[in-house]
């Protein structure tokens, strides 16, 4: 007679195998969708760009929020601005908020777009919209990013979004502008 523990163990092994196989199939699809979503957002935030060049040897480890950095290029290859892919640890944990930020040639953040907001529905969305509106209205430098007002009732989400923007400003100023700002 087979013991119930052995049956449960066999079921767990089969289920783990099915989940691993499912992950093998879906992981590339999810990765492709993420890349396309990011590329679409980059084109939306900088429509005049003809292409994007990823930053080489960028100091990503020095900036907790920066997941990717790109130069937005014009038709003749000149740099029009900088786009950063950011992840922030909001209310629901690591990278519960992902966004892109557009930085001008002077290092100011000129605009942001939230790609994914996994924080509390309603409050997290309102916090992202509140902060985006402040940044997108006039752009922010480092001092301006630090002064962005939090959304009442969503302080963790607001602080995470603000911290990501602060990292973006600092990254652009160190990597592309040589720490000039």
Give the mean model confidence (pLDDT) for residues 3-14.
88
Percent of the chain with pLDDT over 90: 23
Q: What is the pLDDT of residue 181?
A: 42
Q: What does the DSSP assignment read for 55-95?
A: PSS--GGG-TTEEEEEEEE-TTS-EEEEEEEEEEEETTEEE
Give the mean model confidence (pLDDT) for residues 129-150.
78
For residue 94, name the pLDDT band (cuts at 50, 70, 90): low
Q: Tell me the pLDDT of the chain averaged across its residues.
A: 84
Give the mean model confidence (pLDDT) for residues 48-77.
90
**Token digits of residue 83:** 């786009």
How is the chain split into domains, by residue range? 43-175
Whether residue 54 contacts residue 68, with contact meaning beta carbons closer than 8 Å, is answered with yes
pLDDT higher at 21 or 140: 21
Could you tell me which of 111, 151, 147, 106 has the C-alpha nearest to residue 132?
Answer: 111
pLDDT higher at 52 or 118: 52
């Amino acid at each position: 007679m087979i013991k119930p523990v052995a049956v449960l163990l066999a079921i767990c092994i089969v289920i783990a195998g099915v989940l691993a196989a499912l992950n093998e199939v879906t992981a590339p699809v999810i990765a492709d969708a993420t890349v396309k979503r990011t590329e679409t957002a980059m084109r939306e935030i900088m429509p005049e760009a003809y292409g994007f060049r990823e930053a080489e040897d960028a100091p990503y480890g020095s900036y907790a929020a920066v997941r990717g950095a790109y130069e937005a290029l014009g038709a003749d290859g000149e740099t029009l601005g900088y786009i950063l892919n950011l992840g922030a640890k909001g209310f629901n944990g690591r990278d519960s908020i992902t966004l892109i930020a557009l930085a001008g040639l002077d290092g100011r953040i000129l605009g942001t777009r939230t790609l994914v907001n996994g924080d509390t529905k309603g409050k997290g969305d309102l916090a992202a919209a509140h902060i985006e509106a402040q940044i997108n209205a006039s752009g922010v430098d480092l001092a301006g990013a630090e002064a962005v007002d939090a959304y009442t009732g969503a302080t963790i989400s607001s602080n995470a979004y603000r911290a990501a923007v602060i990292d973006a400003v600092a990254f652009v100023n160190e990597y592309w502008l040589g720490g000039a700002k």
